Amino acid sequence: MTYDVKPGIKPPLDDNFRPAVLCNHAFLADVEASGRPVPLTLGIEQADGTRSLYSTHVLPKGHPKAEANLKYVERAVKFLLWQRGGHRVYVGGPAEIGEYLKQAYTPTGARAFDADLWSGVYEQPFEVVVTTAEAVPPAREASIPLGRHLEGYRIGFDLGASDRKFSTVVDGEPVFSEEVQWDPRHQKDPGYHYHEIMSGLHLAANKLPRVDAIGGSSAGIIINNRVRIASLFRGVEKEKFDEGVGGLFPRIAREWGVPFEVINDGEVTALAGSMSLGVNAILGIALGSSEASGYVNRDGNVTKWLDELAFAPIDYAADAPQDDWSKDIGCGANYLSQQAVFRLAPAAGIAIDESLSLADRLAFVQEQLAKGSEQARLIFETIGVYLGYAVAHYADYYDLSHVLILGRVTSGECGDIVMARCQEVLKTEFPELAKVISVNLPDEKARRVGQSVAAASLPAVK
């Protein structure tokens, strides 16, 4: 059994959308109404012993809707793994729920992709530990200061699936930025990525008298400057990945010989928001070639969470669109990125020339909007509705006061349309949440190059 709750504000181009936040809230309302809520604690553990806990309740055994426990917890674990990252999941609660998840994360289970991926990321076998709520080990969270170093002559870069951006920053002031289209996902030779990145760095360096530090952001999971997994490099064969991709940024760092740091693009999104707005407890969401996200806590630090919300579910519809990489359905990238634009275009009656690059396809739809196309407007209104329900869902998993929206999809009038519908959803469906969380768009320049500028502040210069 699954909950099937229709949104109060329907996305204009998607009748089938079933917001995860509404389905979860309906389930939890039934749990409370049962009078016998059963505690359940989920623990997500990384290889170094860092551990996050998430506590909730489920329906008691024998309840007419008890079968819904399985769907609710399975989706929660999926979300938590991509939000926080780990190779071990503790399921502290009813044994049947734990055993269900244990089967799902086997090589033949529904979440086989995820089990294999997390084993590779943390270089440990993935496992689900079935236990009681009281026996789940305690939380061991960690956070670190991030960036905000502005002195000297710096280069910052941001690598996306359709374009790469490079900026120069002098004592905190951006002096040069350039965006170049590229197509990294279909390249089998890691030498392509190396030469494209080095080309951008040399171009930026030519604008400076010297280079004191280089900071960058890239889609994917990056630990200690090494890429563990990233869709940008999906074309590179496995036997070439560890050295050609995993060793890519350490190689570039050695060749430049200056402080060099690369992290996930979502974390830089959050850093850009924290720096530009002067606030913390902020979630940054970049609507670009995919959905990039990152979080800065109330202390102004980043946690060891991964915040890869592109692959975290936000739609519980049974026929939700499928992610082409993980093969799961209802995940953020299909709703909060240019992938959503392309998916919704046929429903809006807009034909896109698929021979165009991804960046040019998006530009074409945005040009139609600029010419007054109501069909194009419906696409961005739909994305805005998605965003409103997604922000409410994220608020159930993050301690939030601010959300910053960035990315190419929000350029120009598109961002205003997306924001208006997002605010409408929050004020109508979640009025109490709307009072305590502010959702903002930066100015146009910061939307497009803010990440590469913030990235420049990552390395400390001795």
DSSP letter string over 413-457? HHHHHHHHHHHHHHHHH-HHHHHH-EEE---HHHHHHHHHHHHHT
Q: What is the mean pLDDT of residues 204-216?
A: 97
Give CA–CA dist 383/381, Å, rounded.
5
pLDDT of residue 449: 47
Of the candidates 118, 437, 49, 145, which has an alpha carbon nearest to the alpha carbon of residue 308? 118
Examine the pLDDT at 20 and tell me if it is beyond 70.
yes
Q: Give the three-state DSSP class for 66.
A: coil
Match 């079968």 to its residue by tokens. 67
DSSP letter string over 303-340? ES----GGGSB-B--TTPPBPTTT--BSBGGGTSSHHH
Mean pLDDT of all residues in the chain? 93
pLDDT single digits (tens) 32-78: 999 999 999 999 999 999 999 999 999 999 999 999 999 999 999 99
Examine the pLDDT at 4 and tell me if it is beyond 50.
yes
Q: What is the mean pLDDT of residues 237-251?
A: 88
pLDDT of residue 2: 76
pLDDT single digits (tens) 352-389: 999 998 889 999 999 999 999 999 999 999 999 999 99
Q: What is the mean pLDDT of residues 188-212?
A: 95
Cβ neighbours for 372, distance < 8 A, ≥ 6 positions apart: none
Burial class of residue 320, CB neighbours in 10 A (0-12, 13-18, 19+) = buried
pLDDT of residue 349: 97
CA R_g for the chain: 22
Q: How confident is the model at residue 1 (pLDDT cuts 50, 70, 90)?
A: low
Q: What is the mean pLDDT of residues 326-345?
A: 97
Give CA–CA dist 133/334, Å, rounded.
34
Percent of the chain whose pLDDT exceeds 70: 98
pLDDT single digits (tens) 86-118: 999 999 999 999 999 999 999 999 999 999 999
Distances (CA, A) of 147 to 36, 50, 89, 269, 276: 47, 22, 31, 12, 13
pLDDT of residue 321: 97
Q: How confident is the model at residue 450 (pLDDT cuts 50, 70, 90)?
A: low
Chain centre distance of CA 193: 22
Q: Phi and psi at residue 447, in whole multiples of 5°?
A: -60, -40
What structural domains and CATH numbers belong to the chain? 34-141 (no CATH), 142-462 (3.30.420.40)
Count the Cβ atoms, other than its own, within 10 Å of residue 10: 12
Q: What secondary structure letter does DSSP report for 19?
A: B
Cα torsion at 381, 452, 450, 379 (round to 10°)?
Answer: -10
Distances (CA, A) of 460 to 38, 168, 307, 457: 48, 16, 24, 8
Give CA–CA dist 462/451, Å, rounded.
23
Examine the pLDDT at 186 and tell me if it is beyond 60.
yes
